[in-house]
A and B are shown apart, each in its own frame.
Chain A
Amino acid sequence: MNPEDRKTKQLPKVGIYGLTSCAGDQLTIVNCEDQILDIFGSAEISSFLMAKSDNTEGEIDVAIVEGSVSSKGDLEMLEDIRKRSKVLIALGNCACNGGPQAACVAAEDHKERMKQVYGDVKWSLPDPIDAKPLSAYVKVDMQITGCPIDKWEFLRALGRLVKGDGPIPISYPVCVECKYNENECLLFKNEMCLGPITLAGCNSVCINHNIPCFGCRGAVIEANVAGEAEMLVNMKHPQFPDRKNFDYQDVKNRAMMYGGNTMAELLDKAKVKGAKK
C-alpha cells in the first residue's frame, strides 16, 4: 500500500443501479447510516438513483447492479452499464440468482403467468421477459448475494474495491456460521433447513432466531443439492429415529424460492428418490 499514491490518484468512479427488484440491496447501502459519508468519501458515486438526483452516466470503474433482468428495458440498461464499466458487480439475490421472481421459471410459461395476473393487455412498455440473473446476459465480475445483502459484507467488499482489490468471496455454507453461533441444529428439530447448501454471509441470522434457513443467499459453491434433498426427503438418521422426512415438492419449492435458476438446474441434475417428474 502506498499512501502517496492514494492522494494523487482520483477516486474510483462507482455507479449503483437497480433493475427489477425490491430495492432492498440499495436500501441496505442507504441503511449504512454510520458509513454513508465514508462511502461517498471513498469513491466518486457518479450514479445512485435511489439516493441522489445529480447522476451522470459516463465511463465508470465499478458498476454495482441490483435486480434481475425482467424486461427488455432492464436488458438495455444492463448492456449499457456493462459497456461503460470496468468491473461489474451483481448485487443481491435477484442479480445473482434471479431472485424470487425467477422462482417459477421451470414451472410455468411466463406469458401465461402474465395473463393470470394482468389479464389480456397489449403493453406499450418495454416487453416483459422471464426473470434472469445478470450473468445470463453479460459478464459479471463478482457477486455479492443475499436477500438482502449483508451490510458488512458489502462494506468489506467496497473497502477492497475502492483500493483496487477484488472482494474475497465467501465459499462456505450457512452451517459454518450457524456453528460459530453455537446454535442447535434445526434439522434435528424437524425443520426444513437449507443451511448446508446455502451460501453463508448472513451470520446465520435466521437460525439464531430458531427459524430455518430459507436459502435466501442462493446456493453455495459445490452445493450438494442432491444430498440435501435426499436427506430431507428420504434419509433416516439412525441416531435420531424421530427425525421426520419432507415431501419432495416442498423441498423443491423452498430451494427454488431464492435459488432461482441456479437451484433449478442443480435440482434437475439431482436424481432424488421420490421426486415426481
Chain B
Amino acid sequence: MKEIKVEHLARVEGHGAITVEVDGRKVKDVKFEVLEGPRLFETITLGKTPAENLSVVPRICAICTLSHRYASLRGLEKCLDIKIPEKTHWMRELMLAGEAIESHSLHVYLLALPDLLGYPNAVAMVTKYADSVVQGLTLKKFGNSIMELCSARATHGENPIIGGFGKFPTNEKLYAIADQAKTLIPYAEGVIDILGNMQYPTFFEKETVFACCNPPDNQYGLVSDEIILSDGKKFSCEDYTKITNERVVPHSFAKRSLYKNSPFSVGSLARVNNLGDRLQERAGDAYEKYKNARWKKNPVYNNLAQAIELLYALEQVPVYVEKLVELKDPPIVKPKRQSGKGTGAVEAPRGTLYHSYEVKDGRMAKVDIITPTAQNYEDIEKYLRLAAEYMVSEGRKDDDVRFQLEVIARAYDPCISCSAHLVKLVRK
C-alpha cells in the first residue's frame, strides 16, 4: 500500500492536503484534509454585541470578507428588524460586485490560468502571457478599488455597518469606478474566450446537484432570501439546514454538507447552471456562446463560469453607480428591537454563504455560519476520488496524478481557511 499525497495545496487560501491511499491499481481512500487549526468563530462573538459580531466574522476569510459582512448584515438586520434604505442596498450590491471582480480575476488569471497553461505561478507566465497577467492584475486591482471605496479598505473594511454605511463615497469617485468598469469589459471577454475554447479532461465527469440564491424578479444576482436547487426545489434561506445539514469528519477541521444524503456543489458553476438563462447583455451572449451540457458534470468548468460572472459583475458596476449617484446619503437606521432571529444568505464568489443568528437583549445568543467550501467539500472529495480511481487504474505516474488532483481541487477555488472556521449551530 502506498500513499500519493499533495501535502500543501498551493495557490489556495489556507492549508489543505489531499491524500490518496493506493493498493496496487486500486484506490482505497481519498481524503481532502484541512490542516489549518480551528478558529471557532461561532463561539467568539457569543455574548458580544451585534456590532462586534459584524466586525469579527468577516475575518473568517480574507477573500470573501465582504460576502461575510453582507451575509452577517442581512442576518443581523433581520434580528434587529432594520429595513435599509435604497442607497444602502445598492452600495452593498456594488461592494459585492467589487468582491466578485477581485476574487474571480485573482482566481481565473493568477491561480487557474497557470495550471491550464502549465506554469508554476502567474509571475512565471509573464514571459509568454504578459498580457494576461497584466489584465488579471488590472482587474484584480479594480475589484479591490471598489471594495476599498465601499468598505474603507480592500480587506476587512469596516465601513458597511448595521443600518447603513459609516460614510458614502462621493459621486465623483463613483463615476470614476463606473467609467473604468466599462473599459475593462474586453479583458473579461478575452479570458472567457481562452477558457471557453480550452480542452478539459473528461474522465472524472459525473452529474451533480447545484444550489444557489434565487434572486427575485427572475434576475441574475448574488443575493436572495430564497435558495434554488438544480432539481427545481426552492427553500427559504431560514431553512438552510435542510440543504446543508452538516457533519464533522475526523480528518478535517472543516465541516461538510450533504443534500438528501448526496454531495452537491455551490459557486459560480452552480449559479451559471441554475440561473444562466437570466444573464443579459454581453454576459448573456457569452453564456449562450459557450453553454454546454458538460457544465453539469465537470467542476473544471467552474473557471469559465467565474469568467462569465466576472463579465457580469463588470457590467453591473455602472448600473449600480447610476442608481447611487441619484440618491441622497441616508442616515444610519437604528434597530427597532434588541432581540430576534434571522438568517442572511448571499452568494460569495465560491457559493452560498449563510449567517444565522439569534440576538437576545442586544447580545449575540446564537451564531451559525455555513461557508461555501464546507458545502462543496463532499463534492470535491467525490471528484477527486473519481479522478484518482481512473488515473490509478490507468497506471499514471504519481506526479501526474498529483497535478491533476490539484487542478480539480483548485478549480473549486476552495477557500480552505474559511471552511476551517465553519462551525455547527451552538445550542445551549
Contacts and interface: CB of A to CB of B under 8 A. Distances in A.
Partners in one complex: yes
Nearest to B119: A53
A24 B137 CA distance: 17
A127 to B, nearest CB: 9
Interface in A67-102: 67-71, 73-74, 99-101
A33 interface: yes
Interface string B131-172: 000000110110010000000111111110100011100000
Interface stretch (A162-170, A171-179, A219-227, A250-258): A250-258
Interface string B55-73: 1100111110100000000
B39 A214 contact: no
A211 B15 contact: no
A20 interface: yes
B123 interface: yes
B15 A18 contact: yes
A119 B36 CA distance: 18
Interface string A128-160: 110100000000000000011001000000000
Contacts of B157: 205
A70 B155 contact: no
B426 interface: yes
Nearest to B424: A117
| A: interface residue count bin | 35 or more
B113 to A, nearest CB: 13
B423 interface: yes
Nearest to A68: B37
B250 interface: yes
A196 B232 CA distance: 55
Contacts of A206: 152, 158-159, 166
Given A54-B120, A250-B49, A113 B43 contact: yes
A210 B167 contact: yes
A119 B154 CA distance: 35
Contact of B39 (A33, A69, A100): A100
A27 B155 contact: yes
A1 interface: no
B158 A22 contact: no
B347 interface: no
A147 B156 contact: yes
A103 interface: yes
B95 to A, nearest CB: 13
| B: interface residue count bin | 35 or more
B423 A117 contact: yes
B121 A52 contact: yes
B144 A31 contact: yes
B253 interface: yes
Contacts of A53: 10-11, 114, 120-121
Given A125-B35, A128-B38, A211 B158 contact: yes
B121 A54 contact: yes
A40 B123 contact: yes
A124 B33 CA distance: 10
A118 B248 contact: yes
25 contacts: A20-B38, A22-B59, A22-B62, A24-B155, A25-B62, A27-B62, A31-B144, A33-B141, A37-B126, A49-B10, A53-B10, A53-B11, A54-B121, A70-B39, A71-B35, A114-B38, A117-B42, A118-B38, A118-B248, A125-B253, A148-B62, A208-B152, A209-B167, A216-B55, A257-B55
Interface of B: 8, 10-15, 33-44, 47-49, 52, 55-56, 59-63, 65, 106, 110, 114, 120-124, 126, 137-138, 140-141, 144, 152-159, 161, 165-167, 248, 250-253, 255, 417-418, 420, 423-424, 426
Given A22-B61, A54-B124, A208-B152, 4 more contacts: A104-B44, A122-B250, A206-B152, A211-B159
